[in-house]
Amino acid sequence: MSDCRHTFPNGDVYCGAVDNDLPHGYGKYEWSDGSFYEGEWSEGVKHGTGKYKWASGSSYEGLWAEGCMHGIGTYVGSDNSEYHGSFVKDKKSGYGKKRYPNGDIYEGLWQNDLAENLGIYQWLNGDKFNGEWKQGKMHGHGTFVWHTGERYDGDWKSGLENGPGLFIWADGSAFYGFWEEGKKHGS
């Protein structure tokens, strides 16, 4: 293993440890479009701890496996969104917290880049949902509290109230009954 600096015909530059002419160990690779990766390599692929910055301005700093974001890390988007948590093969999977460009925040479990299982979504306006998620939508049991004082505690399906639930208005009046696709049934 040795250290070297190599400039490729397309303008890319690699400076760091190599083994069998491949990045291996610690090094920095700069692409001609302005993106770069600095960190650990294994047999020519990102593997270990490192930081990647895209030409768009997005960046990821954390663990890598076989060239993919894999493990705990922080992704900051060019839109100013930010996610800190677990990744599996380049996708948010496991526990993590994301701040969206508009200021909303989701904290909980993820699968394939979508909210999944249990989590809390806090809207910038003060609305809040705490409960179950499926493929990025409120699904299962959960509680939604509006910033205006209303509250719904019950079942959800595909992002809408669906099944048994209790709705309490800001004045204290309440409705307990069944809901279907976001609409109450009964009196």
Quote the CA–CA distance of 34 and 29 in Å, as a whole number.
Answer: 10
Mean pLDDT along residues 38-66: 98
Q: What is the pLDDT of residue 187?
A: 58
Q: 10 Å Cβ neighbour count for 158?
A: 12
Q: 10 Å Cβ neighbour count for 58?
A: 15
Domains and their CATH numbers in the chain = 98-187 (2.20.110.10)
Alpha helix positions (H), 110-178: none
The single residue listed with the structure tokens 């999977």 is 93
Mean pLDDT along residues 4-26: 93
Tokens of 134: 């499926």
Residue 3 above 80 pLDDT? Answer: no
Mean pLDDT along residues 110-123: 98
Q: Which residues pair with 157 in a beta bridge?
A: 160
Residue 186 above 80 pLDDT? Answer: no
